[in-house]
Amino acid sequence: MKVGQSIPLSRMQQPVNLIEIAQRGEGAPQTGKAKEGSFKEMFSRELAESRDLTFSKHARQRLYSRGIELSDDQVRDIADAVQRADGKGSKETLVLTENVALVVSVPSRTVVTAFDRDNLRDGIVTSIDSAVIL
């Protein structure tokens, strides 16, 4: 191959026009605060999406059959608890709230099962490596 010789690109490889990308949005003047605000909003959105909890089918069935309802604030608190457990290297954690106990897979942010106070009285929860008390 010689210098300057073109290389055929497959359909998956498309050339990127960096100048076009850099010039996007130059038409509207932006102040530093507008850029900062939009970055903060974008960062908050991305952080919230990465911290979302999912509930397994089994956990949803347990919540329903046991009449357990979680408010948005409770779900947010549980997500924060899972984030803290992740910071300590936990893989499976028990999150205890006033009225419910949840076993959560930390890496996948998935609630595996749920107990209310009456069902938790047996006192044994297996396959966890940490507990977070809210």
What CATH number does the domain containing 106 carry? Answer: 3.30.2310
**From residue 117, how far is each of 13, 16, 75, 96, 98 by CA, in Å?**
56, 57, 18, 10, 8
Contacts of 84 (CB under 8 A, 6+ apart): 132
Give the lowest-confidence range in 18-27, 34-43, 104-113: 34-43
Its pTM surpasses 0.95: no
Higher-pLDDT residue of 53, 117: 53
Work out the pLDDT band at 45, boundaries 50, 70, 90.
low
Domain containing residue 83: 53-133
Q: Tell me if 39 is assigned to some domain.
A: no
The pLDDT of residue 4 is above 70: no
* Per-residue model confidence (pLDDT) at position 43: 56
Q: Tell me if 73 is assigned to some domain.
A: yes
* Per-residue model confidence (pLDDT) at position 27: 56
Q: What beta strand segments (E) does the chain contain?
A: 54-55, 92-96, 100-105, 110-116, 130-133
Domain count of the chain? 1
Q: Tell me if 14 is assigned to some domain.
A: no
